[in-house]
């Protein structure tokens, strides 16, 4: 299993950055390999991604979500991965978004991509595109979900 950690500073307030991140169906606008995400309910999403010329689908569960702080998830099917995205207020109109993911590459192409650092670069690129996406909207989100999801056992 590999761990990827990347951050980006966006020129918007922490609430707007968080609100935009909770709009999972907008991810294809800034995530390179993501073709589609459907939010099934408050805790479950269905993903369709393209990796190395192959299309994969999987389900994921949001395991923790606290407005303006963090969103954590784990995959329920497909390639095993889990992660958390955190939001840190740097100023009134500046937020650091940090993604940390644990990924267990599945198949030849994913393992090669992992060894060559392609996964790290993809996450860094996706965060950079998120920055561009939200800043080009004048720092306004396309929607928001402000609900709480407590970590199991808390």
- pLDDT per 10-residue tile (average), the chain, 154 residues: 90 96 94 93 93 84 96 88 96 97 68 60 92 89 80 70
pLDDT at 23: 94
pLDDT at 148: 82
pLDDT at 105: 64
pLDDT at 34: 93
Picking from 30, 1, 146, 10, the residue whose alpha carbon sits closest to that of residue 89 is 10
Q: Residue 95 phi/psi, 5° resolution?
A: -135, 135
pLDDT at 152: 74
Using DSSP, state whether 92 is helix, strand or coil: coil
DSSP state of 153: T
DSSP state of 150: P
pLDDT at 50: 86
Q: Which CATH superfamily is domain 2-136 in?
A: START domain (3.30.530.20)
How far apart, in whole angstroms, are the C-alpha atoms of residue 39 and residue 19?
15
Domain segments of the chain as ranges:
2-136
How far CA 33 is from CA of 52, 122, 146, in Å, comes to 9, 9, 26
Using the CB atoms, write b or e for 123-135: b if 16+ within 10 Å.
Answer: bbebbeebbebbe
pLDDT at 66: 96
Helices (H), 13-73: 14-21
């Amino acid at each position: 299993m590999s761990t990827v950690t990347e951050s980006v500073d966006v020129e918007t307030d922490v609430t707007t950055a968080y609100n935009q991140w909770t709009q999972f169906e907008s991810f294809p606008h800034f995530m390179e390999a993501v073709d589609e995400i459907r939010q099934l309910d408050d805790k479950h999403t269905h993903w369709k991604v393209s990796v190395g010329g192959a299309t994969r689908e999987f389900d994921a569960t949001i395991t923790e979500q606290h407005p303006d702080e963090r969103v954590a998830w784990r995959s329920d099917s497909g390639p095993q991965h889990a992660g958390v995205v955190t939001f840190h207020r740097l100023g009134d109109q500046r937020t650091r978004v940090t993604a940390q993911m644990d990924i267990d590459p599945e198949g030849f192409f994913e393992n090669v991509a992992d060894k060559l650092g392609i996964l790290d670069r993809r996450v860094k690129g996706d965060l950079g595109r998120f920055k561009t996406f939200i800043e080009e909207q004048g720092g306004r989100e396309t929607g928001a979900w402000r609900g709480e999801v407590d970590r199991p056992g808390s």
